[in-house]
Amino acid sequence: MELRPATREEFDDYSRAALSAFHQERTETDRRRFEPIDEPERSLAWFDRGRIVATSGAFTRELTVPGAVLACAAVTAVAVVPTHRRRGLLTGMMRRQLDDLRERGDAVAILWASEGTIYGRFGYGIGARAAQLVARRPAARLAPTAAGEPLRAGPAAEHVEAMRATHDLVRPLRPGMLDRRGPWWNDRLFDPEGERRGAQPLQAVIAGDGYALYAVQPDAGEDEPAGEVRIRELVAATPAAHARLWAFLVDQDLTRTITWSLAPVDEPLWLALTDPRAVRVTVSDSLWVRLVDVAAALRARGYASDPDVVIEVADGFCAWNAGRYRLAEGGCERTEAAADLALDVADLGAAYLGGTTLRSLAAAGRVRELTPGAVARASAAFRGEVEPWCPETF
């Protein structure tokens, strides 16, 4: 068997193998979506007598972290076909991929996990969470909002420039968000009829420095209309824009439910409603983070206060990371000094975006405090001003 990148000419076989591992058949729609964003030079595939039986890849993206934006590897298409599981192919791919990322100089890798038990053993930790939001009309009502410039709404593709401007304004302020250069706005708006699940075409509404992407699924209902407003994304730079967008979305005639499957966990809609019980929120993991180069990753981000701590990092998969690091206002360097905290690289990745706290990881037994007060001091320093949020899967 051979492990190597899949070429552009092997895209069909590569994508077919990746999708088959998720029990999906590759279609022409898949080709139209994934071919423009494919980076074959960053792919890996196991070949068994010429047939692709396992895949992984990465996109070149920029990731917002507390106080900074840095290049990262957005890992994708990690799959092993059913006939070749339990043979170590996944471990071999992840080993090769992390070696390649280190050689490229990528300090951080991120991914969305199909199963929660897979990626911890490769050093990934849950760096961000997402909220599934369900609001019910007519109880979901906002207090009257201040008048502003007229709302603009219509087919999503007609409002790309306005949405791009708002996204570029908000992205540097929210850890977990990604850049959308090149084909990425087209990918975000991809809306084939076969994947709408009964909804109408994707729409956009613009309110000053805010926008929402949404689609409505009509439903006549047995006794009264019971349609659903499905939100794909809502981004607002100001509280006024946020309020006006929500006022519009919860006031769609002939609908009963408003849903958003990837909302930020600190979404304040419930605080804006006249009845806070009109919205239900369920939280789950979203973005997983892997520190490929611990020192470079810790130097790249900002801190709420001076951590002034020595961290002992265990890394059973990337031995080059294992050791002690002095993290202080002046930077992050290796040291032989006694450690104040000890943790696995996966847990450091979980805390990296400022959402999962070192204090909560310590309470779960995943961080060992070796110097009294070190957990509280480091946890406060790592904490971000807002919860990390990644509105898009990849």
DSSP string, 206-239: E-SSEEEEEEEE----SSS--EEEEEEEEEESSH
Q: Assess whether 150 and 278 both reside in one domain.
A: yes
β-sheet with 309-314: strand ranges across: 331-334, 323-328, 309-314, 341-344, 367-369
Q: Within 13 Å, how many C-alpha atoms sit on residue 305's CB side?
A: 11
| Residue that is last in its domain, among 284, 306, 329 | 284
Provide the pLDDT confidence category of residue 14 given band limits of 50, 70 and 90: very high
Q: Distance of alpha carbon 270 from its chain centroid, rounded?
A: 23
Establish if 123 belongs to a structural domain.
no
The pLDDT score that the predictor gives to residue 329 is 86
Q: Which residue type, as a one-letter code, is found at position 197? A: R
Residues 303 and 374 in one domain: yes
User: Which tens digits make up the pLDDT trace of 336-361?
Assistant: 999 999 999 999 999 999 999 999 99
Q: What CATH number should be reported for the domain holding residue 70?
A: 3.40.630.30
Regarding whether 279 and 324 lie in a shared domain, the answer is no
Indicate the burial class of 281 (C-beta count within 10 angstroms; 0-12, 13-18, 19 or more).
middle
State the total domains in the chain.
3
Q: What is the mean pLDDT of residues 159-179?
A: 98
**pLDDT number for residue 200:** 97
**Is residue 148 one of the residues assigned to a domain?**
yes
pLDDT at 172: 98
- What pLDDT sits at residue 366? 98
- 373 in the same domain as 350: yes
Residue 116's pLDDT is 94
Residues 273, 310, single domain; the answer is: no
Residue range 94-121, pLDDT digits in tens: 999 999 999 999 999 999 999 999 999 9
- Mean pLDDT within 37-60: 97
Annotated catalytic, 11?
A: no
Model pLDDT, residue 144: 81
Same domain, residue pair 274 and 135: yes
> Maximum distance among all alpha carbons in the chain?
72
Q: Are residues 61 and 154 in the same domain?
A: no
Whether residue 257 sits in one domain with residue 136? yes
In a domain, 120, yes or no: no
Contact 258, 114 (CB under 8 A): no
In a domain, 337, yes or no: yes
- Contact present, 245 and 207 (Cβ < 8 Å): yes
Whole-number mean pLDDT of the chain?
A: 96
Q: Which of 211, 214, 303, 394 is catalytic?
A: 394
Q: What is the mean pLDDT of residues 83-91?
A: 96
The pTM score is 0.95
What's the pLDDT band for 331 if we cut at 50, 70, 90? very high
Residue 223 confidence (pLDDT): 80
Q: Tell whether the model's pLDDT for residue 221 goes beyond 80.
A: no
Q: Is residue 391 part of a domain?
A: no
Of the candidates 242, 262, 284, which is a domain's last residue? 284
Q: What is the mean pLDDT of residues 258-282?
A: 97
Residue 158 and residue 271 in one domain: yes
Domain housing 204: 131-284
Per-residue pLDDT band at 136 (split at 50, 70, 90): very high
201, HSE (Cβ side, Cα atoms, 13 Å): 9
Say which residues have a Cβ less than 8 Å from residue 239's Cβ, sequence separation at least 6: none
The confidence score (pLDDT) of residue 282 equals 98
Between the CA of residue 90 and those of 49, 96, 189, 364, what are the distances in Å? 18, 10, 31, 28
A 10 A CB-CB count for 349 gives 27
Q: Identify the active-site residue in 14, 59, 119, 325.
A: 119
Helix (H) / strand (E) element for 78: namely: strand 68-80
Q: How far apart are CA 360 and CA 16, in angstroms?
A: 41
Say if 390 falls within a structural domain.
no
pLDDT score at 220: 74
Number of neighbours of residue 53 by Cβ within 10 angstroms: 22
pLDDT at 246 > cutoff 90:
yes
165 phi and psi, to 5 degrees? Answer: -65, -45
- Domain co-membership, 272 together with 165: yes
The verdict on whether 317 is a catalytic residue reads no
Whole-number pLDDT of residue 37: 97
Q: For residues 367 and 299, what is the distance between their CA atoms, to the nearest angstrom?
A: 21
Same domain? For 262 and 203 the reply is: yes
Select from 256, 284, 312 the last residue of a domain.
Answer: 284
| β-pair partners for 204 | 154, 213
Length of the chain: 394
Rounded Cα distance, 51 and 74, in Å: 25
Mean pLDDT calculated for residue range 191-219: 97
Residues 97 and 60 in one domain: yes
Give the pLDDT score at 145. 72
